[in-house]
Chains A and B, each alone.
Chain A
């Protein structure tokens, strides 16, 4: 197994090891479109790869060749695929493969093929690879806490190999660093709903609502906790409407007269689902009215739509549409 990063860029045609192989040029045709002005090293490497691929040669030198090709173009899924065939045929040491992947992870953190290959390797290594994997993903997320591939991979590891015990704490930590990180909120939802250690969504709901309400009050303009709150009551709208904590946080934020778009929106959604507001709600909404909004009509939902049309004017069309849906729904 080659421990060096690459062959130092030495031309393959000059290497004794490759003397028996006739490189296979790309069949681009006489007048290709989108032709790339390949550098010599690239062209040559791929010519040799094509030859080996066609011959289906699954040898150690083939393995080294795929590494060379991957360095030149990590997006070549054919090379990655063939590398997997060779690794299997050679019964190669997959821990070393993980090390190889680790070395190229940082510069390829958004590469589909790399993450897919990692999944394939880890699947074969099994539970023993779990800790190392979760650790690597943490490292990548410490550089970019929203890397989509890293998060998908993390979810796959948890589901395939376990390791749920510390995950809620990890989410907590990330949210403490950046309460606006939607990937962390999404992961929180994933853990709360799927962890075999936590008892499921309903069991976790009360404590999660408390946590989320706190996050809302700290930054009412943060969309994440509002959507998360709604998520906690997925498929259970009645419970959402009946939970006084929900309507209460809406009221609190509206009363600050600041950053209240999501609060108003949530109140609107509650009303649409049958929430019966006491007079406090109407008073608070009326108090938002500025001189350039028309007097608010008797219907609270419509009044909210009117206000949102003005204070969230980017989405004026949407609020008008919501309002029109109300007038149709009204009996």
Chain B
């Protein structure tokens, strides 16, 4: 074992985080079951309180986000929606009014009233309004002008600039294309060459970078993949190497890192975790005939067992300490009280033959990271232990949690299956669930 001093910066930083995370897990495992149950609860009320407060007032330190206010709206509104809550009508109206003041006279939305329109804040504003829904919110969007703005941001390379004279990258492509798609103003002019640009950003690692040549990165990989799907060119990507890259972005902590050998961060629960949801959807729409996942091998027809409760119940719960099962009144859409008798213990190692519906990432591990390491009991979620909560991380940690809970579903609109939701089933002993022996 090398002395601490001879370790590289990467190794040292990683060990420090692992220690913190494993301390939390160890503490958790030593708690009585009732406390463990509490630790795995999603603190809905506290999260909603934290979020709603942000909507109505922000401290002076937020002046560094003064050019990102539609983003703050989106992070808050989307999180509230994920928690199945609503914003009161007055706040709704105020939001619609405020965002209208961010809308530029020539289309698009800026970071605040009087600022230049920007693709990212346009994305945030449009998605905020769509999340609110309803006539007033949707009709406040000037679709014709927005289209003109997108056309102006389009670059000859196929990519888009974030704003007039701004930077071009994969993020800009995603924000532009996704908004155009959402508002039904996507046309050939906007789509032209976007695929080529994104393709040039898939790196030798398999992930996608922000610009051609840069490092493969979770945020840009999500943006790139989503865009290719929206413009119907996803088969041009090397999906098997993309899949292989993202699968290895999940670490021993259970959460995801943004790049190879970097530290875990709660927000990648969505940027990386969401990639699996996209890939799964691609696979399922291809179920009609076996279509290769980029390398000539069929994937759609073997072992067509779907995992049903009765299948899972047959498995002996041997090592299923943290189980997926039951319905916990605090998690997901279910509001029936949980009964420990309904709980099904699944050893995640023994789900052979369920590859069709089981997600390719470790949903159990990710939920454990989000709930135990990212969640602040007072409300809000964060990057990792030791960091402060913020609205951005609250949004993407919760989004990642939602991806986990829906990861077994064929139909995205159904509520989560009981067995997809992480709960405590019985007395737990300390176990290193995913520390690899071969490290």
Where the two chains meet, the residues of A that have a C-beta atom closer than 8 Å to any C-beta of B are 24, 26-29, 31-39, 42, 46, 50, 53-54, 72-78, 81, 84, 112, 115-116, 119-120, 145-146, 148, 151-152, 155-156, 159, 177-183, 186, 189-190, 194, 221-224, 227-228, 230-231, 234, 258-261, 272, 309-318, 320-321, 324-329
Chain B interface main SS type: loop
**Contact between A81 and B250 (Cβ–Cβ < 8 Å)?**
no
Q: Which of B118, B215, B247, B439 contacts A148 (CB 8 A)?
A: B215
**B405 → A minimal CB distance (Å):** 16
**A239 → B minimal CB distance (Å):** 15
The segment from B147-155, B163-171, B395-403 that touches chain A is B163-171
Q: Which of B69, B261, B436 contacts A314 (CB 8 A)?
A: B436
Which parts of B42-97 form the interface with A (CB within 8 Å)?
54-60, 62-69, 72-73, 76, 90-91, 94-95, 97
Residues of A within 8 A of B68 (CB): 75
When C-beta atoms are compared, the residue in chain B nearest to A159 turns out to be B213
Query: Top 8 nearest A-B pairs by Cβ distance?
Result: A231-B204, A180-B10, A178-B8, A182-B260, A314-B434, A186-B215, A27-B113, A329-B297
**B362 → A minimal CB distance (Å):** 5
Can you list 15 A-B contacts with CB-CB less than 8 angstroms, sorted by A residue number?
Answer: A26-B114, A29-B94, A29-B98, A29-B113, A34-B76, A34-B98, A73-B67, A74-B64, A75-B68, A76-B67, A77-B115, A146-B259, A152-B213, A328-B297, A329-B298
Contact status of A38 and B60, CB under 8 A, knowing A50-B114, A116-B166, A230-B204:
yes
**Contact between A259 and B439 (Cβ–Cβ < 8 Å)?**
yes
Interface-central residue, B54, B73, B297, by most chain A CB under 10 Å: B297
**Contact between A152 and B64 (Cβ–Cβ < 8 Å)?**
no
Interface-central residue, B67, B90, B166, B354, by most chain A CB under 10 Å: B67
**Contact between B54 and A317 (Cβ–Cβ < 8 Å)?**
no
Q: Which of B115, B206, B303 contacts A324 (CB 8 A)?
A: B303
Q: Does B338 contact A (CB under 8 A)?
A: no
The segment from B18-26, B174-182, B320-328, B344-352 that touches chain A is B344-352
Contact status of A228 and B204, CB under 8 A, knowing A33-B95, A183-B215:
yes
How many B residues touch the partner, as a band?
Answer: 35 or more
How distant is the Cα of A327 from the Cα of B73 in the complex, in angstroms? 49
How distant is the Cα of A76 from the Cα of B59 in the complex, in angstroms? 18
Residues of A within 8 A of B388 (CB): none
How distant is the Cα of A249 from the Cα of B121 in the complex, in angstroms? 49
- Inter-chain pairs besides A32-B101, A42-B60, 5 sampled, C-beta below 8 Å: A75-B68, A77-B67, A77-B162, A320-B353, A325-B297
Q: Does B360 contact A (CB under 8 A)?
A: yes
**Contact between A317 and B215 (Cβ–Cβ < 8 Å)?**
no
Q: Which of A38, A221, A223, A324 contacts B302 (CB 8 A)?
A: A324
Contact status of A315 and B362, CB under 8 A, knowing A27-B101, A73-B66, A178-B8:
yes
Contact status of A35 and B115, CB under 8 A, knowing A228-B204, A314-B436:
no
Q: Which of B205, B351, B438 contacts A259 (CB 8 A)?
A: B438
Chain B, residues 400-439, CB within 8 Å of chain A (1/0): the string is 0000000000000000000000000000000001101111
How distant is the Cα of A315 from the Cα of B436 in the complex, in angstroms? 11
**B307 → A minimal CB distance (Å):** 12
How distant is the Cα of A167 from the Cα of B259 in the complex, in angstroms? 22
Residues of B within 8 A of A81 (CB): 116, 163-166
Residues of B within 8 A of A29 (CB): 94, 97-98, 101, 113
Residues of A within 8 A of B90 (CB): 31
Residues of A within 8 A of B9 (CB): 145, 177-178, 181
How distant is the Cα of A28 from the Cα of B115 in the complex, in angstroms? 12
Residues of A within 8 A of B98 (CB): 28-29, 31-34
Residues of B within 8 A of A27 (CB): 101, 113-114
**Contact between A328 and B349 (Cβ–Cβ < 8 Å)?**
no
Interface-central residue, A26, A53, A112, A316, by most chain B CB under 10 Å: A316
**Contact between B362 and A314 (Cβ–Cβ < 8 Å)?**
yes
**Contact between B166 and A313 (Cβ–Cβ < 8 Å)?**
no
How distant is the Cα of A182 from the Cα of B297 in the complex, in angstroms? 30
**Contact between B438 and A261 (Cβ–Cβ < 8 Å)?**
yes
Interface-central residue, B55, B215, B216, B293, by most chain A CB under 10 Å: B215
